[in-house]
């Protein structure tokens, strides 16, 4: 009977060790969960960025208005027979 009790106690000690310190311990699970949360946040940000880029690509494929808007904003282009006015604000 003493041997059985000793075996049960050793088994409990072994399981407690694995639970708190060993592979798959509570601390390790919390660390993995924190990493997973960070990765989920990065994935969400990249998905939102990809969705915005995809919408812009569709807009560029769909019509000339988007191309014209980009040419005006980024390249400073104007249409034929248009007059360009530049307003300079002093601070």
Cα separation of 86 and 76, whole Å? 11
CA contacts within 13 A on the Cβ side of 78: 7
pLDDT tens-digit map of 33-83: 999 999 999 999 999 999 999 988 887 777 777 777 777 778 777 878 888
Cα separation of 67 and 14, whole Å? 68
Q: Is the pLDDT of residue 32 over 90?
A: yes
Please, are residues 85 and 79 in contact by the beta-carbon 8 Å criterion?
A: no
In-domain check, residue 44: yes
In-domain check, residue 43: yes
Please, are residues 20 and 26 in contact by the beta-carbon 8 Å criterion?
A: yes
In-domain check, residue 82: no
In-domain check, residue 53: yes
In-domain check, residue 25: yes
Q: For the beta carbon of residue 4, count every other beta carbon within 10 angstroms.
A: 8
Tell me what pLDDT residue 74 has. Answer: 82
Cα separation of 51 and 43, whole Å? 12
Tell me what pLDDT residue 57 has. Answer: 86
Split at pLDDT 50, 70, 90, the class of 11 is very high
Split at pLDDT 50, 70, 90, the class of 89 is confident
Expressed as residue numbers, the domain containing 69 is 18-75
pTM above 0.75, yes or no: no
């Amino acid at each position: 009977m003493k041997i059985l009790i000793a075996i049960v106690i050793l088994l409990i000690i072994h399981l407690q060790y694995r639970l708190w310190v060993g592979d798959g311990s509570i601390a390790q699970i919390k660390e993995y969960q924190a990493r997973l949360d960070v990765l989920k946040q990065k994935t969400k940000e990249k998905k939102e960025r990809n969705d915005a880029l995809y919408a812009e690509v569709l807009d560029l494929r769909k019509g000339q208005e988007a191309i014209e808007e980009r040419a005006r904003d980024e390249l400073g282009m104007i249409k034929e027979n248009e007059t360009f006015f530049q307003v300079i604000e002093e601070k």
